[in-house]
Structure 1
């Protein structure tokens, strides 16, 4: 009995410690950063045998050099990985390793008592998120509140064995070799991390603790580097149209949104003119000097006329300024450029567009926002704030039945089953409710019974 009590104490201590860690997790949702990471993922996974297997990046605001997976199709990348990496090939190596865990189904052998860990969902959902306008964490402006919350609960009790780590290493090396990705960046990373083995445990990086480095792993890497085919490796660059998105630029963006505004504006040590202008845009945006931000941004627009994320940023500035007409124009321009390149990275910009449309008093804009939201919820059904916006937009054009169904979906995501049933009941009182939304309401009622 004493042993059981001790085990229970250790178990509760473990959960309380991880609860604190979970509260510190912040998911950054940013279209440009996710586009950059998605391109890196595609460069690795395009030769996978698993047809149609897609992985999506999520950026964690954390200064550690780290990345992890939880068994879903999302790969969580720490901002520290981007800021501390010396090359894109380093990031490719780390992400290839994480893809290896997913493809090799390592998570299925490591999940323990998932049902008993439901309280993590609440903790993770409370976590702040987003590179929102003004650089402040704001759950209304940001987009990862529920998307990331449920999935991140798994990380607290998912740890891979050394054998699985070595298997993921081998997978990463194989897939990088097939994709002709340089292994020199990964070698540089492992060499740096192996030096930490000589340090005391408290000084070691979080990446080392979850991804133990050894001479064996470096020897395995060197064998691949010495293969004849490795000499054909090419340096990876991330392009959209003729614009090269550099690691330095993405790292600078993360720092610009997380540094003190005065530090950004007074930093004259940046020799790169583009980064200097960009930092002035972000710095002035964050302190509310919108006209100065726009003036600096116009200089960048001259240089990068077909770069979509410049216009997204322009939309953000006009939104913050309260000029929603120009915000809409710029968001639409960004989406048009992305669509012309057949790039599937417009969800977050469409989200910003919807918020701008809803700030106007025009019925056509409300209808347009409803159309966009109906497309967004098809690919992001667990994004609760989309349902809230759909309810808001529908209510403004007196489509109250749709509004109640949307509120029911939001309540279901938040596990408020009684409220979900109540909203469906209210929706069914409107005879003009379309068959599509009636079926959705019936599905909600079935799902509430299943959850019970």
Structure 2
């Protein structure tokens, strides 16, 4: 369509086409997000730095469950995925996944602040904003391309007539058309953000929860925008300014009979533990001890110090974790921590018992199964391998995206002389991590020793034949 037009039009179209790709891939990932959020380097290469933690994921699920129910999406609950990024950000790229940075949990002092974020993102999913935003992006592109064609035509006509003024005017029109289309799309996006905010208020009210936490989030964001908003063009933002969002929600939120409802104390207790845990895992032990000094006797502080001790690989780490277990002997995550400390301290056999205990308290947790399988394999005792294989396969059935489970299963198969099964498990693990070419090589090697047409052979064949989708460029 643009082939017969000027170089200027083609260049402008390419520039705006890149904008549309980025908008659909990134900006239309609707989010409560600070305007100057820093994206990790490896996320820019197409891979977000994801982390797994059973305790944090369980808490987020409990936060989200009532919200999903009143929003009408409980039958197809989105998977909540943790991103190892300390910035305050959450987004949904589609109706199946909700990404939440650990920074949301670390900054939020109350459960209500996190629940408000989840409610907002749920508003995007339930309102089908992502589908409509992609359509709006396409419409904006059409408007801009038409403008660029007309502008480029005027530039070409002016140049042919020897009119530099007409030529430059046409060029300006072509470039301006991209700006008009971009602003139109951003205006649409701001409208969808406001709609998600209003939906979040409805969900919070329907579940008998206060919107104070959600308002507190916008207050914090507004304070951080205090300087930049003086110079920001409000029409060039993908999100309304935080102060506008706060002002738009305050009166409506205060009308709710639940506005003064306090956060559930059990959720607050769990929230405090998770905040301490995330801080301790992502900070140097000395920083953890400064943030949670020995004078702080709270459960959260004791938890953080126990994790810091484990990270320091000190001899007293297990004793400190045992003291933690005595305060709450039915907390499975304390046993998980003890098992991890023993495993990382070079005692995989000793780690088996605490991982078994964690799994006995929470028998359907796949991450505990992975830990137990890891310890059984690491103990290097042939008699443990059949159990390791069994427990790792159970873990994979519940969580097919665990690369660690596949790698440990491959080791278990290999040590039992099951070379083809080991290659197939390795191939599956590589597929999970996105290393498709390496996965194909292992799958092809596995096929040579597997019975043709068997389930294992067919799985290997699927990997060999797999063609990765063409993803939009992300810069």
With normalisation by structure 1, the TM-score equals 0.74
Does residue 303 (structure 1) correspond to residue 327 (structure 2)? The answer is yes
Offset of 1:437 from its aligned partner? 1.9
Q: 1:201 to 1:90 in 2, by over 3 A?
A: same
Offset of 1:65 from its aligned partner? 2.3
Matched residues in 1 for 2:231 and 2:354: separation?
A: 46
Q: Could you tell me which residue of structure 2 aligns to residue 282 of structure 1?
A: 307
Deviations 1:43-96 (CA, angstroms, capped at 9, x unpaired)? 422334234222333232333222212115332222322222232111111111
Does residue 225 (structure 1) correspond to residue 254 (structure 2)? The answer is yes
Does residue 190 (structure 1) correspond to residue 215 (structure 2)? The answer is no
Q: Could you tell me which residue of structure 1 aligns to residue 142 of structure 2?
A: none
The counterpart of 1:337, out of the listed 357, 361, 372, is: 361
Report the more deviating stretch, 76-85 or 378-387: 378-387
Offset of 1:23 from its aligned partner? 5.0
Matched residues in 2 for 1:416 and 1:263: separation?
A: 39
Deviations 1:24-61 (CA, angstroms, capped at 9, x unpaired)? 95323222222222211124223342342223332323
Matched residues in 2 for 1:19 and 1:303: separation?
A: 38
Q: Could you tell me which residue of structure 2 aligns to residue 46 of structure 1?
A: 69
Q: 1:111 to 1:376 in 2, by over 3 A?
A: farther
Q: Could you tell me which residue of structure 1 aligns to residue 161 of structure 2?
A: none
Matched residues in 2 for 1:180 and 1:273: separation?
A: 29
Secondary structure of 2:94's aligned partner: coil
Q: Could you tell me which residue of structure 2 aligns to residue 172 of structure 1?
A: 200
Matched residues in 1 for 2:122 and 2:240: separation?
A: 14
Q: Could you tell me which residue of structure 2 aligns to residue 448 of structure 1?
A: 466
Matches within 5 A, 1:204-353: 210=239, 212-215=241-244, 218-227=247-256, 229-230=257-258, 233=261, 235-238=263-266, 245-265=269-289, 268=293, 271-289=296-314, 291-339=315-363, 346-353=365-372
Does residue 59 (structure 1) correspond to residue 78 (structure 2)? The answer is no
Report the more deviating stretch, 100-109 or 419-428: 419-428
Does residue 4 (structure 1) correspond to residue 23 (structure 2)? The answer is no
Q: Could you tell me which residue of structure 1 aligns to residue 406 of structure 2?
A: 387
Deviations 1:156-175 (CA, angstroms, capped at 9, x unpaired)? xx988011111111211111
Contact 1:27 1:59 in 2 (8 A): yes
Q: Could you tell me which residue of structure 1 aligns to residue 189 of structure 2?
A: 161
Q: 1:282 to 1:449 in 2, by over 3 A?
A: closer
With normalisation by structure 2, the TM-score equals 0.71
Matches within 5 A, 1:346-425: 346-413=365-432, 414=434, 416=436, 420=440, 423-424=443-444
Contact 1:181 1:236 in 2 (8 A): no
Contact 1:347 1:376 in 2 (8 A): yes
Q: Could you tell me which residue of structure 1 aligns to residue 156 of structure 2?
A: none
Matched residues in 2 for 1:300 and 1:422: separation?
A: 44
Q: Could you tell me which residue of structure 2 aligns to residue 81 of structure 1?
A: 104
Offset of 1:408 from its aligned partner? 3.5
Contact 1:278 1:296 in 2 (8 A): no
Contact 1:407 1:420 in 2 (8 A): no
Matched residues in 1 for 2:42 and 2:231: separation?
A: 18
Q: 1:435 to 1:20 in 2, by over 3 A?
A: closer
Q: Structure 2, unaligned stretches of length 5 or more?
A: 1-6, 23-37, 138-184, 471-475
Q: 1:78 to 1:430 in 2, by over 3 A?
A: closer
Deviations 1:151-193 (CA, angstroms, capped at 9, x unpaired)? xxxxxxx988011111111211111111101112222333443
Matched residues in 1 for 2:393 and 2:453: separation?
A: 14
Q: Could you tell me which residue of structure 2 aligns to residue 91 of structure 1?
A: 114
Contact 1:41 1:55 in 2 (8 A): no
State the aligned residue count: 392
Matched residues in 2 for 1:192 and 1:419: separation?
A: 45
Q: Could you tell me which residue of structure 1 aligns to residue 52 of structure 2?
A: 29
Offset of 1:209 from its aligned partner? 6.8
Matched residues in 2 for 1:224 and 1:18: separation?
A: 32
Q: 1:169 to 1:417 in 2, by over 3 A?
A: same
Q: 1:415 to 1:62 in 2, by over 3 A?
A: closer
